[in-house]
Chain A
């Protein structure tokens, strides 16, 4: 696998809703490439016949609880930690003009 470029790292940061200063971008590019170089060893493993494991509990049956209503958070409790709230709603910068 070829090494990540600075521009690719900038693009991944955008996808992840992060941003870096130029010197941070250099450092992250170097570090991410070092980590990827290590994990690329997985290419040595023959995985052709293996099915993926997404969860170790996948083999167990998925439990379902009784479909009974119960008390959740009140609106006030849910909004209590919000950085900004208005009239019972989470407040964010304008999205549509």
Chain B
């Protein structure tokens, strides 16, 4: 068995036992990135030299006794990494090197895990296909002509293509689960507040949550162990003691009761997707889970709530990109639109221009600086969300849109509370369809938004949700979504583990055949 075929947990054991060195593991994955990322385009920056250096140092330290960690990983490029480019998929942050690291990045590196690079995403995590990246689209390893999903498309594709054993994604309305589903890997969106958001580039602060994208449920539990828990640097991080999630990995679900919310099996859901999810529910039934149809009446309106609340929060969060403190400024260096097609390979040198010291004769006044910086630095989807958000928060429309959406959000939360008084967890498809062709929805924002139909309800209610591979349709992976009450990650992992023990969908490998993308 090749090193890249091992899961993160298996690699951790091999490293712990001294069966392999960190350098060997790092080289194996860097070789794989070299071989396939030309086709998949999952990475915005590969931190090869730094990873090699860290691996060598850790190998040396390990000679004097076992040191933990050493497993390579990737981060979605909206998580700050000190001194390493962090673009959030936007030209407005081209060349930006944060002066601090996100808590999740520090926790993984402090545990000895080795960053291999930063993965592509829809600009500022706004999108469902990674086509909104300001740099280039990522391809789905199962069919390179199709999207990997989004916005954590780079992280999901990198894991699916065996370029890295695990990656972190962020999820605002489905951005971990939807790409995990499209790429046939495991994605967990934890309860809002379980994982610190410190150093995550903010999109919609009441919804954003970081979580693992892995090849199996065991790895999801292992990674969650490393990143969960309170953080004094994030006031929304929950003051709960995170348990050892690997203890939840027992294949015993006998006697649990699960609900199938009929609103998430209705209009717009592909019949084959429905069939795969029903089969998965059947497997859980065989394992002793009592499965019943249920209802979340307000889930029908979840998409509408989301496309008011998320843009409202985004319009406020993205006001900071004004060309003053960091990132691109109109009149300084190159305009993003004229910049290089993609960041330097390896990404360890800043692209020319943007780091220029002093302003050339640029904007005539502050307003022109703001407007010209933002119109050149942001892509169309980001502008659309800022416009929507600005409108729904503007005088005269606030009550009709934003306040109404927030009230409806309460009603949706109450639907879930009622459901969880009877059911231990809920089952639905992760996505209405399998991965769609590149370019198919890019000009129709509303069609793109519908890709998040099934993932948005748990986001609005702040609930944990796990996406698992549950079979194929037209040769493309289908995802099963399990949703639970707040802080029920152990239960979801247990159910996922039990399901995985009974099925082999998670062991299937993408062909990686087809056209080269760059």
Contacts and interface: CB of A to CB of B under 8 A. Distances in A.
B304 A92 contact: no
Of residues A31, A44, A92, which shows the largest number of chain B Cβ atoms within 10 Å of its Cβ? A92
Contact of B409 (A52, A63, A94): A52
A78 B324 CA distance: 12
Contact residues of A: prevailing secondary structure: loop
A91 B366 CA distance: 11
Nearest to A4: B391
Interface stretch (B231-239, B492-500, B506-514): B231-239
Interface residues of B, number: 79
A80 interface: yes
Interface of B: 96-100, 192-193, 206, 230, 232, 235-239, 298, 301, 303-305, 307-308, 315, 319, 322-329, 332-333, 354, 356-359, 362-372, 374-375, 378, 383-384, 386-388, 390-391, 394, 400-401, 403-411, 413, 445-446, 449, 461-462, 486
Contact of A92 (B298, B366, B401): B366
A35 to B, nearest CB: 6
Of residues A51, A78, A82, A85, which shows the largest number of chain B Cβ atoms within 10 Å of its Cβ? A82
Contact of B365 (A13, A40, A82, A94): A94
B411 A38 contact: no
Contacts of B374: 16-18
A47 B304 contact: no
Nearest to A15: B390
Nearest to A21: B375
Nearest to A40: B304
A20 B372 CA distance: 10
A19 B376 CA distance: 10
Contacts of A9: 387
Q: Which 7 A-B pairs have the closest CB atoms?
A: A56-B462, A52-B406, A83-B329, A81-B326, A47-B407, A50-B407, A65-B232
Contacts, number: 177
Nearest to B386: A16
A12 interface: yes
A85 B315 CA distance: 27
Given A57-B192, A91-B359, A82 B326 contact: yes
A53 to B, nearest CB: 4
Interface in A26-71: 28, 31-32, 34-36, 38-45, 47, 50-57, 60-63, 65
A20 B386 CA distance: 13
Nearest to A65: B232
Interface string A70-94: 0001000110111111100011111
Contacts of A90: 324-325
